[in-house]
Amino acid sequence: MSMREESKKGKMTVAEAGRKGGKKTASTHGKEFYEEIGRKGGEKISAKRGPEFYSEIGSKGGSQRAKQH
């Protein structure tokens, strides 16, 4: 085993750590937790940026989706 491989032994990447944490959160909190934080985030962005923001991103997403069909 090289020196580099030995130093990585037992460690995980940021992506692996995030995936592991996400799975743990999902298993302990459930679907309702994600619905609640999503709603709170949406309300916060709506208050900060206003309805024009959602109109703009909606039209961008809609035009991209239309190209797929």
How big is the CA angle at 47 (ends 34 and 42), to the nearest 5 degrees?
Answer: 15
Q: Which DSSP category does 2 fall into?
A: -
pLDDT in tens, 18-66: 999 999 999 999 999 999 999 999 899 989 998 888 888 888 887 777 7
Question: Across the chain, how many H-helices and E-strands are there?
Answer: 4, 0
d(CA 23, CA 62): 31
Whether pTM > 0.75 for this model: the answer is: no
pLDDT at 57: 86
Distance from first CA to last CA of the chain, Å, rounded?
51
